[in-house]
Structure 1
Amino acid sequence: MIGNCKYQLIQLGDNVDFFNKLKIELQNKFDELKLNIDFIRFITEDNIHEYSGGEPAYVVYFGGDFIPDSDTLDIIMHQINDGNIILPISAKKLLADIPEILKKYNILEWDNNLNKIVNLILEGFELLRKSRKVFISYKRSESSNVAIQLYELLEQNNFDVFLDTHSVDKGEDFQEELWHRMTDCDVILMLNTDGFLKSEWCNKELEKAHIKRIGIVHLIWPGCDFEDFAYLAESIQLKTNDFEKPFYSSDLNNRLKEDILPKIVNMIEGTRARNLASRQDSIITDFTQAASNNSISVQLQYQRYISQELSSGKTIVYIPTVGIPQSINCHSSEKLLNKIGKKEVKSIRLIYDDLSIRDYWLDHLDWLNDYLEIKTIKKINFNRWFVTKQYDK
């Protein structure tokens, strides 16, 4: 079930004390973020069979006195091939405890700072974003009250929620703003009432979500044909006793009972975990494929950026950005320079999928490229970037 989807932390190395302390620090940080630690599956070599390639994963390799055997190296290679972020931690001078296969990655020298490592892991899982965005799609004439109820519930659970009646300013191009906001969200919560799929706009929102690979959670009203959604894993079939009053499809004042609400929140969080990893992976795949098509070598690093080493010895950093690039992305990217520890960074570029972003915002980003140190590259221009060797100009 998607509601049980996990963030996977793969622990390689034999420092049991380190990994026990790391788990405690993660628990503390999850408590601060008001997240459930059960969303993380802790995986070692002993239970590596529990690893799922369809769920977000982060690999921590701790060196020290551990000597990796062929099984460990096979696991590492599998994780590299799956495109997962790998954080190699060296406990010795000269990185002698890091296997050759990981020496091309940025290596973190162990300095007893667990908080730094926890933050890297949370950033890798996109859990440190200030906003965790949900878009509620519904038919006003059938589920307005439940939509407002869920809006309030999700805001209480630290989500940034888009609801058309609460989130679109007067005078905005309503439908264009909906598509724009949708592309920037992590999950779409669809309230599938009797007339939902009969609505032209609800169907278009469903279509747009699939094109953008945005995760969807479907709440299916009693009496609606579940078979219409059987191909969707992220769905909850509501029963009449899930509502506060005896269910009538035309009763707009009805609300959901309290005991069904945690299940909805958990499913949204689980879907969000998978979705962010999938969308970021899609950007990374498209960008690295464009590089490969032009015989350019790039490398995915543990801080969630792609590096390209130039013949001059300088490095270009590419940061895959889910949703709409904002000024906060640029600010975070500048801070990343300190984490990278490389003085010879030629430039930083945010790479993003431009589909369904409003023209005025795309024009704004293009304009900013003439003025800001941190610049952007649209998905539509990935190939041209390498063909015309823009990186070397």
Structure 2
Amino acid sequence: MEYKYQIVLTGTITSATTEITELFYKKLEELQLLSNAYKTINASDFDKEYKGNQPTFVLYFGNSEGNFEDANLVEKLLKDGNIVLPIFYNSFREEIPPILSNQNGLQYSNDKNDTIVNLILESFGKLRNSRKVFISYKRDESTSVAIQLYEALEKYNFDVFLDTHSIKPGEPFQDELWHRMTDCDVIVILNTPKFLESNWCKEEIAEANVKQIGVVQLIWPNHILERIAEVCFPINLNENNFINKVYNNKDTSKLTNETVSSIVQQVESVRARNLASRQDNLITEFLNIARTYGKGMNIQPERFITEKLDNKKRRIFIPTVGIPQSIDCDPSSALMKEIDDFSVNEVYLIYDDIRIKEKWLNHLDYLNNHLDVKTIKKQKFDEWLQNH
């Protein structure tokens, strides 16, 4: 039986359904994932196409007239233990069937398509469940906008790092800052006129380049785009993007709601797009060193590395973006299926350990002595591959 990831489309199908589906397959291409490993299933094809033992994400599209289509189908999908995301337009209570009343729904708008697609990819283990953003800014120029973006991104369930809000008193400031940047998905730079006069800001940009972290650069009015990051997505602001056209007061300047929504959408998009390049960096470096020792390794379509061993077993190496957590050592059910198919007896997470706090590295070393899934530091790739 062919093994696939399933997206089941239920409820009242509209143009929004088509837009989300098209964006999903576009994201697969950006992440360099094979599209034929995924399939979308409509209610009309459900009995023929749906497989209960395969990873599934269900979208339920509400109906403003209260016509709860596919309610029986959703009941079966819930009993199978599947994730169901109710999508409503105005009123959750009126548009979503009672059987989904305990589910956390999402109110639809065009700028939510990225969010919906990323939720699907996260559920399949193709994006990190944590959604981490780092805001880089100059305090004496853009504090009020930095706080505004912090609050807006938190509202959309991002874990946001802002120095004034995220570092506890008594924490080593610089160590904590580098540690948190290492683990973020996107950096939002508030490029004000004197931004690059700050040594702290320059160092943060240098770190972003080293880590190949995607940067959303907000360029202030009457300022220019700085060529400050390898992976950069610029947004040119003008005075109309600011409430009352006030953009040069660090304490009172605020972006309009429309501008904030646009920035949040861009952050969501860059987050998914940047994952592939950071995985590629880990994969490329690991494979280059492995080849110097004559090891036969291959990249699989789902972006992990396999190595054949003499005893007809295989090792699997999984590129892990950011800081590995203990939960990362428990592979998803989909990956476990792939591991079973390969008769694998060793699984490793490979990660970039530069700038991660020593305390956390020691914790990961401790987990290596107690869990079946091990971790390998980037700075130890050569040593590990030479000895294994």
Same fold per TM (> 0.5)? yes
Counterpart in the other structure of 2:320 = 321
Tell me, yes or no, if the aligned pair for 1:56 and 1:125 is still in contact at 8 Å.
Answer: no
**SS, match of residue 188 in structure 1:** strand
TM-superposed CA distance for 1:376, in Å, is 0.7
Letter in 2 for 1:164: D
Counterpart in the other structure of 1:151 = 150
Map residues 190-229 of structure 1 onto 2, 5 A cutoff.
190-226=189-225
Whole-Å separation in 1 of the counterparts to 2:9 and 2:327: 30
Query: What's the Cα RMSD here?
Result: 3.5
| Range that drifts further, 220-229 or 276-285 | 220-229
**SS, match of residue 294 in structure 2:** coil
**SS, match of residue 296 in structure 1:** coil
Counterpart in the other structure of 2:60 = none
Counterpart in the other structure of 1:361 = 360
Counterpart in the other structure of 2:137 = 138
Q: Deviations over 1:85-137 (max 9, x none)?
A: xx499xxxxxxxxxxxxxxxxxxxx9733894656982598655321111111
Map residues 8-47 of structure 1 onto 2, 5 A cutoff.
24=9, 39-42=23-26
Q: Deviations over 1:341-360 (max 9, x none)?
A: 24843221111111111122
**SS, match of residue 190 in structure 1:** strand
Q: Deviations over 1:19-63 (max 9, x none)?
A: 9x95848x99xx99xx965643559xxxxxxx97xx3232134xx
| Range that drifts further, 269-278 or 185-194 | 269-278
Letter in 2 for 1:276: L
Whole-Å separation in 1 of the counterparts to 2:297 and 2:49: 29
Counterpart in the other structure of 2:264 = 265
Sequence identity of aligned pairs in percent?
45
Whole-Å separation in 1 of the counterparts to 2:233 and 2:385: 38
Counterpart in the other structure of 1:113 = 51
Give the structure-1-normalised TM-score: 0.70
**SS, match of residue 244 in structure 2:** coil
Change (3 A) 1:245 1:221: same
Letter in 1 for 2:199: E
Counterpart in the other structure of 1:165 = 164
Counterpart in the other structure of 1:386 = 385
Map residues 32-111 of structure 1 onto 2, 5 A cutoff.
39-42=23-26, 55-61=30-36, 87=37
Instruction: Give 5+ residue unaligned stretches, structure 1.
Output: 1-17, 44-50, 62-86, 90-109
| Range that drifts further, 358-367 or 207-216 | 358-367
Asked which structure has the greater RCO (Cα within 8 Å, sep 6+), the reply is 1
Paired residues, what number?
312
**SS, match of residue 254 in structure 2:** coil
Instruction: Give 5+ residue unaligned stretches, structure 2.
Output: 40-47, 58-118
**SS, match of residue 184 in structure 2:** coil
Counterpart in the other structure of 1:372 = 371
TM-superposed CA distance for 1:301, in Å, is 2.6
TM-superposed CA distance for 1:385, in Å, is 1.9
TM-superposed CA distance for 1:200, in Å, is 0.7
Tell me, yes or no, if the aligned pair for 1:306 and 1:317 is still in contact at 8 Å.
Answer: yes
Q: Deviations over 1:116-162 (max 9, x none)?
A: 46569825986553211111111122111111111111122221111
Tell me, yes or no, if the aligned pair for 1:194 and 1:249 is still in contact at 8 Å.
Answer: no
| Range that drifts further, 251-260 or 235-244 | 251-260
Tell me, yes or no, if the aligned pair for 2:326 and 2:367 is still in contact at 8 Å.
Answer: no
TM-superposed CA distance for 1:333, in Å, is 6.1
Map residues 238-249 of structure 1 onto 2, 5 A cutoff.
238-249=237-248
Change (3 A) 1:367 1:232: closer
